[in-house]
Amino acid sequence: MSSVALPRTIFDESHNDFRDIVRRFVEREVTPHLDAWTEAGRVDRSLFERAGATGLLGISAPARYGGGDVDDFRYNAIVIEELARAGATAVSMSLCGFNDLIAPYFIDFGSDEQNRRWLAPMVAGERIGAIAMTEPGTGSDLAAIATTARPDGDDFVLNGSKTFISNGLLADVVIVVARTDAAAGRGGFSLLVVEDGMPGFTRSGPVKKIGLGAQDTAELSFADVRVPRANVLGSPGDGWTQLRRNLPIERLHIATTSMARMRATFDQALSYSMERTAFGQRIADFQANRFYLAELATQIEVAQVFVDRCILDAATGRLDAVTAAMAKWWVTELHQKVIDRALQLHGGYGYTREYPVAHDYMDSRVATIYGGTTEIMKEIIGRRLTRED
């Protein structure tokens, strides 16, 4: 059985062909290794090389850097959906995290020299990237970032720490958000590229999380790290504007992940309820359960239509911060509801790792937190609604 009730019209034949490529890649290169990667706390570096060779990295990057040269978020969404459908949300954060959270900063703000030096090897999967925003004392409050980068001749001297950094242990290249001018407020942030091996740059981890075991999450520390001015993306002081430009895509990335994963979880719960019997009848035949299934199926379809609209907006450069915030909080919160009901339908078995719903239960909880909490998303929306123009 499947929850699919409404046809999705945002994809054409070329997208469907690409989906077939991604699905085969996931079946061949991801699914067989998930348990081992979860045990190791990170994916194998070779995954990036295989993804690069298949054309799954740097989809929107210019061809001169080895990218797909296709600025169409529908392709990005397909990679997200296929990994999420397979229960590989942690892997999606590694691969799709590069496409949606890291590559855009190089594509939009990197010089040709910087992109040949860093972007091209990352697109090929030869090097791995990360972005470091969150700090131990700031959480979703980016304006409170305390990491500093003091100008000193041809360098910036970087001091501070970052936490919950995806790909933090594997990364060869890290975009670090830091204050380069303490007196300039939001105009004092810059994006600095820190490279593995720079003196004073250390990391620890992986952070022991309750879910997303295969996702390399680390803490980074910077003690008088000398970062050349040539490693600044864009111009010093542009960091806040650069972050605001890409955060809507990051939030749609999270919403798309939750959307695909909740549909897979619902389908599994529906199938289970059709097969499992209790008190002489199928679980699905109890009226209360039929009502739960009907409610969730309807909410999933409504959410999918909205997410598809956002994907199209992103593909055409029209996605705005408020719409992305709406998608992020609504879909991730709905995901929690779907998982809760799906696990309940599984009964005691839902609480065992034998069934995918248990993994989804652990992996999905953080979606309402990272990328900006649900409360921050509502604040973004509320401020726009009550603003007097």
Catalytic residue (choose from 81, 135, 219, 250): 250
301 an active-site residue? no
What number of other Cβ atoms are within 10 A of residue 201's Cβ? 18
Catalytic residues: 250
